[in-house]
């Protein structure tokens, strides 16, 4: 019999909790024996003290085993992608139907917004009727029939993560290599995957701000996942600027639809292809899935089969909610966009109501930023830096100030590296 205080006290002293202690804690998170205060203290303890490689693997497996582990009997590989989190990062919504069109089955268990980053589930819930919590039978049917289904972890898939994720989101304990690793992989391993590609974000809009931190996280994730029997590679990708010029839930779904319907061919498509190639080496096939409209059609079927509108792909803007206040944020001086604080932009969206300040907050799908100026662009005084979509005028004022503070206008263009910085196999 363990007591939550034993595990937390070990962390406080700088000692590693035992494998049994971590397993007990994960089970306690899942069944409610561990209180929210204890979960918060545990998260802060791990964040400050860190775990060893063995401790991290033990926590990951304990969180996986806090619920059920799925298995599949399908006529193609069961594969998936996951991102460590960024701003304007809506790759999952593009890549899942692309992979499905290439013969892959994608049972994608996704998360909600975390800290300053957006969450795939919150984005999907901007689509009226889309049910991120279908019964397992329905989830399996959609994976089998459409090839992809993006849903929340059901109550019995890694329930320890469900609880800890919500606690971390509001206790400033997200930025821990060990907790990110255990959180992502517990869900992915419980989904019964054969293979996985990870998008490890680095830069001002990511949790990992430096190449060293991102590389350490990528190696920890790849090592832990492969050791647990899931063939995994990672790409370390640029998050010094948002991936798309819109940040928020409905406005990011709009960006996804623009890519899937061929209206846009920017970095969102390129990164989706780069990640897709880790799972389906045939690049032409991946690109054709979008160019032919087949991936869009799969996305539309997934939306419909999970409760969304029938003609979503044909007429998405009719269905996505719009904020009542839309305001242009203009530059107060001329200059070149030499840096962007991605975290500050993400937090501006959270404060608009696009994310959560406490676990119980209800997300407003309509709010966010659009037309965010590109890195390296020249702007004159009075020209737009972004457009704020807000529920109220006062919130638009705050967001406008945050956007101005987050965008640095200087004399010189920034040095922009490649979208994919490194591959970890």
Q: 209 an active-site residue?
A: no
354 three-state secondary structure: helix
Pick from 29, 184, 290, 331 the residue near ligand URA by CB under 6 A: 184
Judge contact between 245 and 223, C-beta under 8 A: no
- Rounded to a whole number of angstroms, the minimum distance from the CB of residue 294 to ligand URA is 28
CA 371 to chain centre: 21
φ, ψ of residue 389 to 5 degrees: the values are -115, 115
Q: 188 an active-site residue?
A: yes
Among the listed residues 66, 83, 92, 289, the single catalytic one is 83
Among the listed residues 110, 120, 152, 215, the single catalytic one is 120
Pairing of strands 335-340, 407-410: antiparallel
Among the listed residues 56, 64, 116, 188, the single catalytic one is 188
- Among 181, 105, 89, smallest CA distance to 145 is for 105
Pick from 17, 40, 67, 85 the residue near ligand URA by CB under 6 A: 85
| Token pair 């032409």: residue | 284
Count residues contacting ligand URA (CB under 6 A)? 8
Q: Which residue sits closest to ligand URA, CB atoms considered?
A: 183
Q: Closer to ligand URA by CB, 188 or 258: give it.
A: 188
Among the listed residues 60, 152, 183, 232, the single catalytic one is 183
Which DSSP string corresponds to 267-302?
HHHHHHHHHHHTT---HHHHHHHHHTSHHHHHHHHH
Q: In this structure, how many other beta carbons lie within 10 angstroms of the beta carbon of residue 321?
A: 14
Residues in the chain: 425
Please tell me whether residue 232 binds ligand URA under the rule CB under 6 A: no
Q: 81 an active-site residue?
A: yes
Return the beta strands (E) in 153-252 as ranges: 195-202, 231-238, 247-248
Q: Closer to ligand URA by CB, 38 or 92: give it.
A: 92
Distances (CA, A) of 256 to 78, 93, 264, 287, 307: 23, 7, 9, 15, 19
- Rounded to a whole number of angstroms, the minimum distance from the CB of residue 234 to ligand URA is 13
Q: Closer to ligand URA by CB, 180 or 296: give it.
A: 180
Q: Closer to ligand URA by CB, 114 or 286: give it.
A: 114
Pick from 84, 173, 204, 224 the residue near ligand URA by CB under 6 A: 84
Q: 80 an active-site residue?
A: yes
Q: For ligand URA, which stretch binds (CB under 6 A), given 1-9, 135-143, 175-183, 265-273?
A: 175-183
- Rounded to a whole number of angstroms, the minimum distance from the CB of residue 102 to ligand URA is 24
Q: Closer to ligand URA by CB, 101 or 169: give it.
A: 169
| Token pair 């840096």: residue | 339
Pick from 17, 88, 111, 308 the residue near ligand URA by CB under 6 A: 111
CA distance linking residue 45 with residue 42, whole number of Å: 5
Q: 277 an active-site residue?
A: no
- b/e code 61-85 from CB counts within 10 Å (16+ = b): bbbbbbbbebebeeeebbbbbbbbb
Q: For ligand URA, which stretch binds (CB under 6 A), given 3-11, 180-188, 281-289, 312-320?
A: 180-188
In the range 312-371, which residues lie near ligand URA by CB under 6 A?
none
Measured between alpha carbons, how far apart are the two ends of the chain, in Å? Answer: 40
Q: For ligand URA, which stretch binds (CB under 6 A), given 11-19, 134-142, 176-184, 359-367?
A: 176-184
- b/e code 266-287 from CB counts within 10 Å (16+ = b): ebbbebbbbbbebbbeeeeebb
CA distance linking residue 307 with residue 151, whole number of Å: 12
Please tell me whether residue 399 binds ligand URA under the rule CB under 6 A: no
Find all residues with CB under 8 Å of 407, minimum gap 6, and list them: 337, 339, 340, 341, 373, 385, 386
Please tell me whether residue 180 binds ligand URA under the rule CB under 6 A: yes
Pick from 57, 63, 94, 114 the residue near ligand URA by CB under 6 A: 114
Q: Closer to ligand URA by CB, 173 or 395: give it.
A: 173
Q: For ligand URA, which stretch binds (CB under 6 A), given 68-76, 120-128, 178-186, 224-232?
A: 178-186
Which DSSP string corresponds to 113-173?
-BTTB--HHHHHTTSTT--SS--HHHHHHHHHHHSEEEEEPPTTSSHHHHHHHHHHHTTT-
Please tell me whether residue 120 binds ligand URA under the rule CB under 6 A: no
The residue ranges that bind ligand URA (CB under 6 A) are: 84-85, 111, 114, 179-180, 183-184
Residues annotated as catalytic (active site), given as ranges:
80-83, 120, 168, 183, 187-188
């Amino acid at each position: 019999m363990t007591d939550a205080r034993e595990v937390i006290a070990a962390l406080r002293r700088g000692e590693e909790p035992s494998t049994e202690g971590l397993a007990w804690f994960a089970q306690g998170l899942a069944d409610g024996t561990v209180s929210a205060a204890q979960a918060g203290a545990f998260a802060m303890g791990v964040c400050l003290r860190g775990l060893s490689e063995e401790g991290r693997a033990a926590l990951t497996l304990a969180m996986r085993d806090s619920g059920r582990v799925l298995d599949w009997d399908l006529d193609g590989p069961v594969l998936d992608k996951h991102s460590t989190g960024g701003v304007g990062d809506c790759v999952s919504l593009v890549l899942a139907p692309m992979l499905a069109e290439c013969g892959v089955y994608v049972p994608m268990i996704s998360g909600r917004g975390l800290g300053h980053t957006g969450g795939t589930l919150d984005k999907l819930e901007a689509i009226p009727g889309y049910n991120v919590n279908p019964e397992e039978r329905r989830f399996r049917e959609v994976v089998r029939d459409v090839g992809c289904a993006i849903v929340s972890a059901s109550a019995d898939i890694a329930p320890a993560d469900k609880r800890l994720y919500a606690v971390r989101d509001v206790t400033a304990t997200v930025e821990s290599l060990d907790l990110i690793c255990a959180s992502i992989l517990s869900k992915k391993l419980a989904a019964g995957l054969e293979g996985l590609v990870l998008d490890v974000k680095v830069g001002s809009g990511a949790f990992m701000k430096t190449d060293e931190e991102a590389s350490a996280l990528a190696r920890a994730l790849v090592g832990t996942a492969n050791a647990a029997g899931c063939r995994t590679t990672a790409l370390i990708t640029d998050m010094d600027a948002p991936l798309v010029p819109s940040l928020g839930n409905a406005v990011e779904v709009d960006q996804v639809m623009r890519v899937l319907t061929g209206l846009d061919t920017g970095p969102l498509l390129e990164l989706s292809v780069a990640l897709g190639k880790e799972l389906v080496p045939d690049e032409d096939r991946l690109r054709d899935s979008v160019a032919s409209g087949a991936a869009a059609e799969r996305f539309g079927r997934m939306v419909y089969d999970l409760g969304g509108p029938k003609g979503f792909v044909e007429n998405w803007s009719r269905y996505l909610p719009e904020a009542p206040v839309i305001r242009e944020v203009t530059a107060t001086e001329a200059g070149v966009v030499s840096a962007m604080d991605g975290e500050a932009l993400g937090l501006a969206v959270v404060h608009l109501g696009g994310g959560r300040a406490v676990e119980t907050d209800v997300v407003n799908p309509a709010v966010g930023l659009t037309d965010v100026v590109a890195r390296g662009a020249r702007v004159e005084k009075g020209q737009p830096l972004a457009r704020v979509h807000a529920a109220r005028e006062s919130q638009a004022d705050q967001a406008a100030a945050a956007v101005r503070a987050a965008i640095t206008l200087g004399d010189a263009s920034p040095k922009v590296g490649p979208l994919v910085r490194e591959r970890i196999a």
